[in-house]
């Protein structure tokens, strides 16, 4: 498992583009026939991708966790961003269509990923955080997720947020997860920008054309930097950092958070005059 240590804002100001990308950008999560994971020391969140092809893939604790099984002290959110597949949790199969979410709670011993068609395999995106009690393992199909409309065409940020794992949806200890879709001809997410010092956040940008790019903005409000990201790249966003993007065309992303509180609306919005 690739390990990323926590970053502080003072040091980050001095980073070159290469160093910034090494610390905060996650490329190549998705590989045919493999589970790839990155362990962030920000709130000990693990981010992963799984593409099962000819055989099922098993979620293992590996050396990094030193526990008997992956979910011994953790919970996990799984969103399928590809063709149909299933996740088998201690023998119970959950079918996931594109954009469906499954929450798996603390203590489940075996998690297997399978594709329905190995020629068009499922692409499972995973985010896991430490947990203290078991919440029910449950699926939320995208068709049943509550959409929230935000932004406007005139501000180029007309978008819909679907919340999957949160206080009024799938219950968890601390993990929150959802998806934001920008409407065609809209290119901005989350402007005005915000921080939430109580929680870190991870973004996965997906459903982008090969040539499309998103400029993801990060850093303290008065010291912003950017990362140029392509399809299926993820970003680790420290609690002190803004996280906002603008694309060469509309895009979709999955956000996930973990940390001190469980309040989606706990955001400290940044005044435009304070952004530098």
Ligand X SMILES: O=C(O)C(=O)C[C@H](O)C(=O)CO
Binding residues for ligand X, rule: CB under 6 A, are 150, 159, 161, 180, 189-190, 196, 201, 243, 255, 267
Rounded to a whole number of angstroms, the minimum distance from the CB of residue 248 to ligand X is 17
Residue 27 vs 269, nearer CB to ligand X: 269
159, interface contact from Zn ion, ligand X, none, CB < 5-8 Å by kind: ligand X
Is 194 annotated to bind a ligand? Reply is: yes
- Of 225, 111, 101, which is closest to residue 164 (Cα–Cα)? 101
Is 110 annotated to bind a ligand? Reply is: no
User: Is 114:56 a contact under the CB 8 Å cutoff?
Assistant: yes
Rounded to a whole number of angstroms, the minimum distance from the CB of residue 258 to ligand X is 12
Q: How far apart are CA 6 and CA 123, in angstroms?
A: 28
Residue 59 vs 227, nearer CB to ligand X: 227
Q: What is the DSSP letter of 154?
A: G
Residue 111 vs 140, nearer CB to ligand X: 140
User: Is 53:121 a contact under the CB 8 Å cutoff?
Assistant: yes
User: Is 38:48 a contact under the CB 8 Å cutoff?
Assistant: yes
User: Is 80:100 a contact under the CB 8 Å cutoff?
Assistant: yes
Is 243 annotated to bind a ligand? Reply is: yes
**Residues sharing a CB contact under 8 Å with residue 46, sequence separation 6 or more, in sequence order:** 1, 37, 38, 39, 40, 74, 126, 127, 128, 129
Rounded to a whole number of angstroms, the minimum distance from the CB of residue 247 to ligand X is 12
Binding residues: 194, 196, 201, 243
Q: Which residues bind Zn ion (CB under 5 A)?
A: 201
Binding residues for Zn(2+): 194, 196, 201, 243
């Amino acid at each position: 498992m690739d390990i990323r240590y926590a970053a502080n804002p003072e040091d980050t100001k001095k980073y070159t583009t290469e160093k910034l990308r090494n610390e905060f950008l996650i490329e190549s999560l998705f590989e045919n026939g493999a589970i790839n994971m990155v362990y962030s020391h920000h709130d000990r969140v693990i981010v992963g991708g799984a593409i099962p092809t000819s055989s099922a893939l098993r979620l293992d604790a590996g050396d990094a966790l030193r526990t008997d099984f992956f979910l011994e002290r953790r919970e996990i959110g799984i969103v399928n961003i590809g063709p149909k597949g299933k996740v088998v949790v201690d023998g119970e199969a959950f079918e996931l269509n594109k954009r469906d979410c499954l929450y798996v709670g603390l203590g489940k011993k075996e998690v297997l990923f399978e594709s329905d068609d190995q020629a068009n395999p499922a692409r499972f995106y995973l985010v896991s955080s430490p947990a203290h009690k078991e919440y029910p393992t449950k699926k939320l199909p995208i068709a049943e997720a509550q959409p929230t409309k935000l932004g406007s065409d005139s501000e180029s940020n007309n978008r819909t947020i679907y919340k999957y794992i949160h206080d009024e949806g799938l219950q968890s200890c601390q993990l929150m997860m959802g998806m934001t879709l920008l409407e065609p001809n809209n290119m901005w997410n989350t402007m005005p920008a915000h921080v939430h010092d109580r929680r870190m956040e991870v973004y996965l940008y997906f459903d982008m054309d090969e040539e499309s790019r998103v400029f993801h903005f990060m850093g303290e409000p008065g010291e912003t930097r950017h990362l140029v990201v392509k399809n299926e790249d993820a970003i680790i966003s420290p609690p002190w950092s803004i996280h906002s993007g603008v694309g060469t065309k509309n895009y979709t992303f999955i956000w996930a958070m973990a940390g001190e509180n469980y309040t989606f609306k706990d955001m400290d919005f940044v005044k435009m005059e304070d952004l530098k």
